[in-house]
Amino acid sequence: MNNILCIYSRFWLRHLVFMGAGAMGEIKHLVVVKFKEGVVVEEIIKGMEKLVSEVDLVKSFEWGQDSEGHEMLTQGFTHSFAMTFDKKEDYAAFQSHPNHVEYSATFSAAIEKIVVLCFPCVLVKPTG
């Protein structure tokens, strides 16, 4: 019995260590885009900032506009948006959230090309 408990504890210990390495299993939703010509990008970004502020499911949000401009590296993409969720269920709930559905229509109309990745985030070197 002790043996079983020991194995069980070890399993959880290993599981916890893994979760630690992966920043508690956070889900990251990464969007890289190139906007259509003529789009007022500031308005689109303002809308996204409003969206993430209103929806508590979004744990954190950061974005940026490429400042290097090496076309060979950027492939024409200019902006990156990254939202973090505590767990996959929160990300799924966000996807179907009415505010997100409404905003998505505006966003989709503004983009020329897009890459979207969604992944459990592995934090190797934490900020400190």
What residue ranges bind its own copies (CB under 8 A)?
A: 23, 28, 30, 32, 49, 52-53, 58-68, 70, 73-75, 77-80, 82, 84, 114-128
Q: How far is the CB of 110 from its own copies (least distance, A)?
A: 16
Closer CB to its own copies, 38 or 128, in the complex? 128
DSSP-assigned states of every residue in 55-93: -TT--EEEEEE-SS--HHHHTT--EEEEEEESSHHHHHH
Separation of alpha carbons 66 and 79, rounded Å: 6
Q: How far is the CB of 31 from its own copies (least distance, A)?
A: 9
Closer CB to its own copies, 6 or 115, in the complex? 115
